[in-house]
Amino acid sequence: MIKMNRTPFTISGYAEEEYFCDRKKETDTLIRLIKERHNIALVSPRGMGKTCLIRHLFAQRTVKSKYNTFLVDVHETESLCDMAVCFAKALIHESSVKGKKFLGDMLSSVNSIRSCVYFDYEGNPNLREDLSDRIEAESILDEIFSFFGSAGKRCIVAIDGFRRFPSYGSEVDKTVKYLRALTERNANVNFIYSCSGKYTEGQMSSGEYKSFFEGMTIFGLSPIPKESYCSFATEMFTLNGDRKLEYDAAVKVYDMMEGITANMQRLLNYLYLRTLPDHTCSLDDVEDGLKEYVNMTSYPYEEIYGLLPPVQRKVFSAIASEGRATNVTGSEFLSRYGLSASSVSSALRGLLSDDIISRENDAYMVSDRFLRFWYVYAKNDGLV
Ligand SMILES: Nc1ncnc2c1ncn2[C@@H]1O[C@H](COP(=O)(O)OP(=O)(O)OP(=O)(O)O)[C@@H](O)[C@H]1O
Ligand SMILES: [Mg+2]
């Protein structure tokens, strides 16, 4: 095979299998669960690789041959109507892959979108932007699901970006109820809800969305095992035959980024770029590269930090200094950072709701690990 002379660490979207690390066990488990007709909530902290895992699953030959697959990206949605448009887009996308017959069958079932479909200059179907002004969300979704029911093969519908629902405002309850009803009454469809951010497994088994997740199989996506990712990283460095990554340097990347795939890929992408052909990226290069990368991309971090109200900033700084902060209302933490329990609690509410700080089990951490490193470097350099 001819190798592309490009950075082998993808940082957006799903690349080909060759650039995809591991996830064999997870892919096999998902295939088995789907075969047994489970509806799945795929959960992890941000950037662990949920969307790519779904794409990887959909790219498997056995999945392609047995199922119609739809990835519905609801990240940018703010209402059930927006969501219906996303479903329509996913259908159109699948039609452009599957061809004219599928498109024809689909349009004769899903009448409401027929008048909004046009063909671009390459002959691919597209949806007109003003679709959302013309449709009634529930009736279009009903038509879409009745098409799923009659489409021959079973369907896998992945709803990606479930974390957006709290921003649906007054439509949250309506949307959640509607989706729950869809999930229950469509026996021909397997749902995968990809959830991150505020949805932790704990929040799913209690709290306001408990009834929504009841009956679903909660699949927690863990970091790729260290050995597997580090072998992948060293192998990727040599893909174009001219650079090397020390194994210990790969381990350092893994540890610093706490196994979060998106962050490891971002850092390695940069480390690859700054390693000259025929050179080796060493342990020291990882430190230098991270600092360089954080300095280069510092603008949004300065802005986020600069806009924090004083007490939130103090609590943010304390958590960033710790890395993973536990017992944040305990006397040791409070006296170390000159805080009071009530100020920590109120500041945390804002920081968590803005996703600047995340909580995993009993520990708090800066959600974007690069923001955390920016803070640590800026503090060491006396800039904050
Ligand atoms: N197995 C993998 N091998 C190589 N790169 C991967 C893998 N999984 C994910 N990535 C990379 O990590 C990045 C983040 O992955 P992805 O978008 O799937 O995470 P996510 O869990 O869906 O994030 P979010 O919670 O923000 O939606 C991707 O852009 C991709 O480049
Ligand atoms: Mg995602």
| More confident call, 164 vs 185 | 185
User: Ligand 1 atom 11: the closest Cα is on which residue?
Assistant: 262
Distance CA 36, CA 119 (A): 38
CATH 3.40.50.300: does it fit domain 23-220? yes
- Residue 48 alpha carbon to ligand 1 centre in Å: 6
Ligand nearest to the CA of 48: 1
Q: How far is the CA of 159 from the centre of ligand 2 (A)?
A: 10
Q: What is the number of the ligand closest to the CA of 12?
A: 1
Mutate to test the pocket of ligand 1, among 72, 194, 265 (most ligand atoms within 8 A of CB): 265
pLDDT tens digits for range 140-164? 888 888 888 887 789 999 999 876 6
Domain 226-296 has CATH 2.40.50: no
Ligand 1 neighbours by CB, cut-off 6 Å:
10-13, 20-21, 23, 44, 46-52, 196, 261-262, 265
pLDDT, tens digit, 9 for 90 and up, residues 258-280: 999 999 999 999 999 999 989 99
Question: Residue 25: how many CB atoms within 10 A of its CB?
Answer: 10
Question: What one-character-per-residue DSSP string does 64-107 give?
Answer: HHHEEEEEEE-TT--SHHHHHHHHHHHHHHHHHHH-HHHHHHHH
Whether the per-residue pLDDT at 190 is higher than 60: the answer is yes
Residue whose token pair is 């009803």:
181
pLDDT in tens, 53-95: 999 999 999 999 999 999 999 888 888 888 888 998 898 888 8
Architecture of the domain delimited by 308-380: Orthogonal Bundle (1.10)
Domain boundaries, the chain: 23-220, 226-296, 308-380
Residue nearest to atom 14 of ligand 1 (CA): 262
49 Cα to the center of ligand 2, angstroms: 7
Residue nearest to atom 25 of ligand 1 (CA): 46
Tens of pLDDT, residue by residue over 108-136, are 888 888 888 888 888 888 888 766 666 68
Bridge partners (DSSP) listed for residue 219: 42
C-alpha 49 to ligand 1 mean position (Å): 3
Q: Please tell me the predicted confidence (pLDDT) of residue 163.
A: 67
The Å distance, Cα 240 to ligand 2 centre, comes to 29
Q: What integer is the mean pLDDT of 362-381?
A: 94
Question: If you measure from the C-alpha of residue 51 to the centroid of ligand 2, how many angstroms do you get, rounded to a whole number?
Answer: 4
196 pLDDT above the threshold of 90: no
Bridge partners (DSSP) listed for residue 157: 70, 191
The reported pTM is 0.90
| pLDDT attached to residue 75 | 84
The protein residue whose alpha carbon is closest to atom 16 in ligand 1 is: 49
pLDDT of residue 208: 62
pLDDT at 4 over 70: no
Atom of ligand 1 nearest to the CA of 19: 4
CA–centroid distance, 181 to ligand 1, in Å, is 30
- Ligand that comes closest to the CA of residue 13: 1
Token pair belonging to 378 = 């800026």
The residue whose CA is least distant from atom 15 of ligand 1 is 49
Q: Is the pLDDT of residue 2 over 50?
A: no
Please name the residue whose Cα sits nearest to atom 13 of ligand 1.
Answer: 262
